[in-house]
Amino acid sequence: MKDKVRVGLVGSGFISAIHADSLKRCAAAELTAVASPTKGKAEAFAQKYGIAHHFTDYRQLLALDEIDLVVIGTPNYLHCECTVKAAEAGKHIVLEKPMCLTLAEADQMVDACRKAKIKFMYAEELCFAPKYVRLKQLLDSGALGHPVLIKQSEKHDGPHAPHFWDVERSGGGVTMDMGCHAIEFFRWMLGRPAIKSVYAQMGTHVHGSKTRGEDNAILILEFANGVTAVAEESWTKLGGMDDRAEVHGSKGVAYADLLHGNAIETYSATGYDYAVEKAGSTVGWSFTIYEEIWNYGFVQEMDHFVECVKEDKQPIVTGEDAKAVMEVLFAAYESAGTERKVMLPFRSPAAKPIDLWKHELGRAIKPTTT
Ligand SMILES: NC(=O)c1ccc[n+]([C@@H]2O[C@H](COP(=O)([O-])OP(=O)(O)OC[C@H]3O[C@@H](n4cnc5c(N)ncnc54)[C@H](O)[C@@H]3O)[C@@H](O)[C@H]2O)c1
């Protein structure tokens, strides 16, 4: 057994910085390499975090013998390629959400990881966020009776990088970007029962000039155990990130607000450095979060995945879970496109989920850079 799990980061953008900050707090992890294509970026990132190796081509990172675990934080359209190559190189994998662009890619990724006998872990941090972990404990303990209705929502005023807005690279709008969190949150919270049907309402209300993706969505999932789940997702909500959940049971109810509920309510006439993700202005009233990556579960997530590699344990969230989320995402876009409830299991050969809403089946993904 190795004393440390040596980790390589693919990507050096927003989420990779969170991964690096989180891994720095994991005693069993050693940040060993980082790769991203823009000249000088991986190098600057390596310097900032004290990482020994940096590359512009992630395949060089995969060729390093000493790397045990690869954490993939690239744009969505690269997830399949990076995962398959990392599996072929024999590395354990943590993959950011959403899994990929097509259902065929999802199969290919799970198969490649199974064949390589490596751990394929899906980075759904909501399953590690301390407030949501406590909420699940409440539900599991019977404190709320049996669940009837469960809700989860994520809202902010839109993503920070162009690849999210370009549906050829992202696969869809806010449902792909944030609805995927809600779907796995519901599955995890309820003990992963089968899903019977999906209904979705989508619209592009504010950002039509910069994206063909939906900027608001409501999803209704019907679980085989009778529970209804409602996800509300928005890219048009001002004032910083909102992340909340509700569990309504036969004997009680619980409300959990991940960010504003944990924040310092602040009034500042001058404004200040940082309140919370995507807060925009800090002049006037704002919600000042503290220990943001811990409250969000990122540190606990990386700690768990590193331990799974070190101790050969079964991860809480896997590539199979990521695949189940993809099926629901495709069904949601099909529902928005056909204006009807879609029954599961659902398969589609679409080149990306949003094609089922916009009816553009089969468009090629343009090779673009970030
Ligand atoms: N779990 C979460 O809450 C969360 C939050 C943000 C982003 N994400 C996910 O993380 C992924 C990245 O998002 P981001 O916000 O970090 O985007 P970003 O634009 O900030 O960073 C993307 C990084 O990928 C790199 N990259 C691009 N092409 C590459 C290639 N061929 N090889 C290696 N690196 C390459 C870019 O150089 C950049 O460093 C997306 O899939 C997104 O959905 C998850």
Please tell me the pTM assigned to this model.
0.95
Distance 201 CA to ligand 1 centre (A): 27
Q: Determine the atom of ligand 1 nearest the C-alpha atom of 15.
A: 16
Distance 164 CA to ligand 1 centre (A): 9
- Tell the burial category of 137 from Cβ atoms under 10 Å away from its Cβ (0-12, 13-18, 19+): exposed
- Count of CB atoms within 10 A of residue 225's CB? 12
What tokens were used for 105? 């890619």
Distance 256 CA to ligand 1 centre (A): 28
Residue owning the nearest CA to atom 43 of ligand 1 = 97
Cα torsion 81, 76, 324, 189 to 10°: value is: 130
Contact yes or no for 4/24 (Cβ under 8 A): no
Question: Which of 369, 22, 353 has its CA nearest to residue 173?
Answer: 353
Spatial distance between the Cα atoms of 307 and 310, rounded to a whole number of angstroms: 5
The reported pLDDT for the residue numbered 359 is: 65
Question: Which of 176, 231, 229, 221 has its CA nearest to residue 195?
Answer: 221
- Count of CB atoms within 10 A of residue 292's CB? 19
- Residue 12: CB within 6 Å of ligand 1? yes
- Residue 11: CB within 6 Å of ligand 1? yes
Q: What is the DSSP letter of 365?
A: P
Distance 96 CA to ligand 1 centre (A): 8
- Residue 74: CB within 6 Å of ligand 1? yes
Contact yes or no for 127/156 (Cβ under 8 A): no
Q: Which positions ≥6 away from 84 have C-beta within 8 Å?
A: 108, 109, 112
- pLDDT by 10s per residue, the chain, length 370: 678 999 999 999 999 999 999 999 999 999 999 999 999 999 999 999 999 999 999 999 999 999 999 999 999 999 999 999 999 999 999 999 999 999 999 999 999 999 999 999 999 999 999 999 999 999 999 999 999 999 999 999 999 999 999 999 999 999 999 999 999 999 999 999 999 999 999 999 999 999 999 999 999 999 999 999 999 999 999 999 999 999 999 999 999 999 988 899 999 999 999 999 999 899 999 999 999 999 999 999 999 999 999 999 999 999 999 999 999 999 999 999 999 999 999 999 999 999 999 865 444 444 333 3
